[in-house]
Structure 1
Amino acid sequence: MPTRPNVTDDPVLPPATLGGDKKRSVEQIALLVFIVVPFVALLAAVPLTWGRGVSWLDLGLLVTMYYIGCHGITIGFHRYFTHGAFKAKRPLRIALAVAGSLAVEGPLVRWVADHRKHHRFSDAEGDPHSPWRFGETLPALMKGLWWAHIGWMFDEERTSQEKYAPDLIRDPAIRGISRHFLTFTIVSLAIPPLVGGLVTMSWWGAFTAFFWGSLVRVALLHHVTWSINSICHAVGKRPFKSRDRSGNVWWLAVLSCGESWHNLHHADPTSARHGVMKGQIDSSARLIRWFEQLGWASDVRWPDQARIDARRNPAPADAA
């Protein structure tokens, strides 16, 4: 049987994303900037808002861009590209790749490779971002939470995209979107000030739109996403059987677009719905349902009652 060619060595097919097997210093510096600057803006948002508020335009840009990027990550990068929870027609496939890229969370192929490796070694040796990496004592867990939330991204070693995401590398369009992550980052940050400036016809309108719709939005989305890696693997109820410590954290459900129903996800990774119990809000699953009804998505892996019951933990759910 012929072997699959090494894509990264093929002169016709460029590497899947930026960089090679190790993160370069310039990438680590850029990553630091993308983390620190939006976070500083998020901290500055409270005193700046106090007593003067935020305009409806800026708030609308923040919310709209936030949920476009959030659903691009949860539906696109995560449930579709990583786990194959449904099949998508080509236009939807490209749209999900672009929407996820607007979240400014890294190139698509790298994101998927990291997450597939996480599931293979979840909360065990080899997991890129387990909060239990350093042990179970309180000091070790505090260190682990920091690692799972942010620290792991500065690790010099990088997950092999050839090993964990060969299917995406073989798709020229997806490989191209992944390689142009910086372009999509610029577009993502530029849309709010462009809209804000045109609507208000002022530089100040462009600046406030950039502050709220770009910087604060990116920081908020980053920390919500990273909280799934850290908080949802340290605390939360565990009504379903999984081989790790993934838990459900209800207060992150709306902001995470349903991703914080994390225990079911690790019990049944290919499920298109994560919030399967009564009252569990999962906007990502709702959108997938609409895609299915429109004929854009098919073969959706919806969990039926038998599938849910088979994964239910017979013991009482552990409380956080």
Structure 2
Amino acid sequence: MLKIRRETLKNIKPKIISWSALHRRHHELSDKHGDPHSPNLHGGNWRDRIRGLIHSHLTWMYKHEYPSVVHYVPDLIKNKNIVRVDRYYYLWASLGFVLPTLLGGLYHWSLAGALAGFIWGGVFRIIWGGHTIWSINSFLHCFGMSRFETEEHSHNFGPIALLTFGESWHNNHHAFPGSASFGLEWYRLARISHKEKKKRGQKLRKCICKKHFSNYKI
């Protein structure tokens, strides 16, 4: 039985730690009933496919239930540093708007400069970054190439790697969920070398919550 203080759990809301729990649930039930953002659970005709893409890209964020952080991320909620970062999440998010606004205003010494900093350094950055990351949930579970045999519909798609710093090697990610590096060759962004891959071997398949990621095979 995990001994976790009530105060710690009370401060965990839909932020970093909850997102981590969602991501582990996605791996546990990927493209199966219970996956919070699968595009492949809405039917087979073209209308259902489009509806699934919209759900996995955007609407899942307010149509899903948050899984238990005690069950999925017990390691994170016992880490004081991670809990501290999570507790001040809205502060970090706010600084992502405030700092570009201040820097733009100071650099141009004008209200127009501050507004430009707010729009391009804050709003546009968040929208651009959000949609490129969400495309991994949606498009990469429908289109691309599958290099490894996994139990869901994950794919790799090189062009999106340029926008997501290598995150689009999504089939690699599902094949090796315990690895922080998704690219497997020198010319891929976020790569892991062949030597390192060989050295780590089966360890790449393991993660903190390994009981949820035991069904992947190459």
- Asked if TM exceeds 0.5, the reply is yes
Residues 281 and 13 of structure 1: is their aligned pair in 2 closer, same or farther, counting only changes over 3 Å?
A: closer
Contact kept, 8 Å, 2:150 with 2:217, in 1: the verdict is: no
Counterpart for residue 252 of structure 1: 160
> 2:45 aligned with 1:13, yes or no?
no
1:303 aligned residue (197, 209, 212): 197
Percent sequence identity over matched residues? 33
Contact kept, 8 Å, 1:271 with 1:302, in 2: the verdict is: no
| Cα distance per residue 1:160-208 (max 9 Å; x no partner) | 1111111111122211211221111111111111111111111111111
Contact kept, 8 Å, 1:16 with 1:109, in 2: the verdict is: no
Residues 14 and 265 of structure 1: is their aligned pair in 2 closer, same or farther, counting only changes over 3 Å?
A: closer
The TM-score, its normalising length taken from structure 2, stands at 0.85
For residue 141 of structure 1, give the secondary structure of its aligned residue in structure 2. helix
For residue 164 of structure 2, give the secondary structure of its aligned residue in structure 1. coil
For residue 162 of structure 2, give the secondary structure of its aligned residue in structure 1. coil
Contact kept, 8 Å, 1:272 with 1:303, in 2: the verdict is: no
Structure 2 distance, partners of 1:154, 1:186, is 21
Structure 2 distance, partners of 1:171, 1:134, is 38
> 2:217 aligned with 1:217, yes or no?
no
Q: Which moved more, 1:263-272 or 1:240-249?
A: 263-272
For residue 107 of structure 2, give the secondary structure of its aligned residue in structure 1. helix
What is the deviation of 1:220?
A: 0.2
What is the deviation of 1:307?
A: 4.5
1:281 aligned residue (180, 186, 189): 189
For residue 254 of structure 1, give the secondary structure of its aligned residue in structure 2. helix
- For 1:4, the aligned partner's letter is L
For residue 255 of structure 1, give the secondary structure of its aligned residue in structure 2. helix
- For 1:13, the aligned partner's letter is T
- For 2:80, the aligned partner's letter is P
How many residues are paired up?
204
Structure 2 distance, partners of 1:174, 1:312, is 31
Structure 1 distance, partners of 2:200, 2:12, is 40
Structure 2 distance, partners of 1:306, 1:216, is 39
Aligned alpha-carbon RMSD (Å) = 2.5
Contact kept, 8 Å, 1:16 with 1:161, in 2: the verdict is: no
What is the deviation of 1:306?
A: 9.4
What is the deviation of 1:278?
A: 5.6
Unaligned runs of 5+ in 1: 19-105, 290-300, 314-320
> 2:126 aligned with 1:232, yes or no?
no
What is the deviation of 1:14?
A: 4.7
2:180 aligned residue (254, 272, 279): 272
The TM-score, its normalising length taken from structure 1, stands at 0.59
